[in-house]
């Protein structure tokens, strides 16, 4: 009978994704000592990554290594994950709710005719298995789901689940996974990074976002200076993405990225429900808006009524002084 957890651990260019390690840590927590936890890493020359994966205390780490895994491709990675599932027979397959996780897990779930729930923000253990909490209707409601299929697939929202405390004595069993060749209809020959985003938005612990209140694309520098002082990623509302002021990869919200940073600073953003759907799970929200009745203030931990072009440079200046001390 299916038992335990299999966690797909994502790597890009030989770097482990923190959000995958959060998913693995959560699997370890849910399994406690009672159910096996297996991690799967796929790529070319990725064995060295098992050191980082081991810190989250899986029982076993499966390594699928081959030259054709160097770049992510849905078909070849789906073949690797499917083979791992056949070998491990887990009750739950977990991954981070990243672009890769959201692409891969539903496809493999369909192969196994299994349940798949994405963007989960809480896992609860019940007598008959896991229950998963998933925000719905742009975050206005939360659905609690139970799983009936023998194997079920779940992606976890980044920055919500805690990382495991590392124990020095833990040593996972490391095994190579032999993957049956996939019939690849599309092959990724290379990836050209746009270089636009210095820090990945969905994993950033601080985000400074701009909306229509920044007046025009020539003013991103004002927010970027604040980002530089805070080590923050730059986000945006859809209005400014649609206006062509910034690339879509920066968009936060229902039709953009869902983020949960420690600190979210919304600059000149009104707080439409579709924007809130992407950032309302941030730990601390600071809103800067010149309209005291802007809806964002109802959701902000701290609200500053004022002009972005007054407040943000002053904030940046103070942080610069603090950082240079």
**What residues make contact with ligand FAD under the rule CB under 6 A?**
211-213, 237-240, 251-256, 268-270, 272, 274-275, 278, 288-291, 294, 307-309
Q: Three-state secondary structure along the chain?
A: CCCCEEEEECEECCEECHHHHHHHHHHHHHHCCCCCEEEEEEECCCHHHHHHHHCCCCCEEEEEECHHHCCCCHHHHHHHHHHHHHHHCCCEEEEECCHHHHHHHHHHHHHCCCEEEEEECEEEEECCEEEEEEEECCCCEEEEEECCCCCEEEEECCCCCCCCCCCCCCCCEEEECCCCCCCCCCCCCCCCCCCCCCCCHHHCCEEEEECHHHCCHHHHHHHHHHHHHHCCEEEECHHHHHCCCCCHHHEECCCCECCCCCEEEEECCCCCHHHHHHHCCCCEEEEEECCCCCHHHHCCCEEEECCHHHHHHHHHHHHHHHHHC
Least distance to ligand FAD, CB of residue 225, Å: 16
* Main-chain dihedrals φ then ψ at residue 133, nearest 5 degrees: -100, 130
Q: Would you state the structure tokens that stand for residue 249, as one six-digit string?
A: 């990869």
Q: For ligand FAD, which is the closer residue by CB, 247 or 307?
A: 307
Q: For ligand FAD, which is the closer residue by CB, 20 or 237?
A: 237
C-alpha 245: how far from chain center: 24
Q: For ligand FAD, which is the closer residue by CB, 170 or 212?
A: 212
Least distance to ligand FAD, CB of residue 319, Å: 19
Least distance to ligand FAD, CB of residue 4, Å: 36
Q: For ligand FAD, which is the closer residue by CB, 54 or 138?
A: 138
* Main-chain dihedrals φ then ψ at residue 250, nearest 5 degrees: -90, -5
Least distance to ligand FAD, CB of residue 134, Å: 18
Q: For ligand FAD, which is the closer residue by CB, 16 or 266?
A: 266
Least distance to ligand FAD, CB of residue 250, Å: 10
Q: For ligand FAD, which is the closer residue by CB, 216 or 231?
A: 216
Least distance to ligand FAD, CB of residue 251, Å: 6
Q: For ligand FAD, which is the closer residue by CB, 82 or 274?
A: 274
Least distance to ligand FAD, CB of residue 252, Å: 6
Q: Which residues are 163's β-sheet partners? A: none
Q: Would you state the structure tokens that stand for residue 24, as one six-digit string?
A: 């693995």
Report the alpha-carbon distance of residue 180 to residue 177 in Å, rounded. Answer: 10
Least distance to ligand FAD, CB of residue 271, Å: 7
Q: For ligand FAD, which is the closer residue by CB, 102 or 212?
A: 212
Q: For ligand FAD, which is the closer residue by CB, 87 or 224?
A: 224
Least distance to ligand FAD, CB of residue 58, Å: 35
């Amino acid at each position: 009978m299916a038992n335990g957890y299999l966690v797909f651990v994502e790597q890009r260019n030989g770097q482990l994704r923190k959000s995958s390690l959060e998913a693995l840590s959560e699997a370890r927590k849910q399994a406690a000592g009672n159910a096996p936890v297996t991690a799967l890493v796929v790529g070319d020359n990725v064995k060295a990554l098992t050191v980082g994966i081991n810190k989250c205390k899986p029982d076993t780490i499966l390594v699928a290594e081959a030259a054709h895994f160097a770049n992510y491709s849905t078909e070849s990675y789906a073949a690797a994950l499917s083979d791992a599932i056949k070998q491990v027979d887990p009750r739950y397959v977990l991954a981070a709710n990243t672009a890769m996780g959201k692409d891969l897990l539903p496809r493999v779930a369909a192969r196994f005719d299994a349940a798949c729930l994405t963007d989960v923000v809480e896992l609860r253990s019940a007598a008959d298995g896991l229950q998963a909490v998933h925000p719905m209707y742009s975050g206005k409601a939360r659905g609690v789901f139970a799983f009936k299929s023998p194997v079920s697939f779940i992606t976890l929202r980044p920055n919500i689940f805690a990382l495991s405390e590392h124990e020095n004595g833990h040593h996972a069993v490391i095994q190579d996974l032999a993957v049956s060749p996939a019939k690849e209809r599309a092959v990724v020959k290379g990836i050209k990074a746009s270089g636009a985003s210095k820090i990945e938005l969905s994993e950033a612990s601080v985000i400074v976002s701009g909306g229509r209140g920044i007046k025009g694309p020539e003013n991103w520098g004002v927010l970027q200076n604040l980002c530089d002082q805070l080590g923050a990623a730059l986000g945006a509302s859809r209005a400014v993405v649609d206006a062509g002021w910034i690339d879509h990869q920066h968009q936060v919200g229902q039709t953009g990225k869902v983020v949960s940073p420690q600190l979210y600073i919304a600059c000149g953003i009104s707080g439409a429900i579709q924007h809130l759907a992407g950032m309302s799970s941030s730990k601390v929200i600071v809103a800067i808006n010149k309209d005291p009745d802007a809806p964002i203030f109802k959701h902000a931990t701290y609200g500053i009524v004022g002009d972005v072009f007054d407040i943000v440079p002053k904030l940046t200046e103070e942080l610069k002084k603090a950082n240079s001390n």
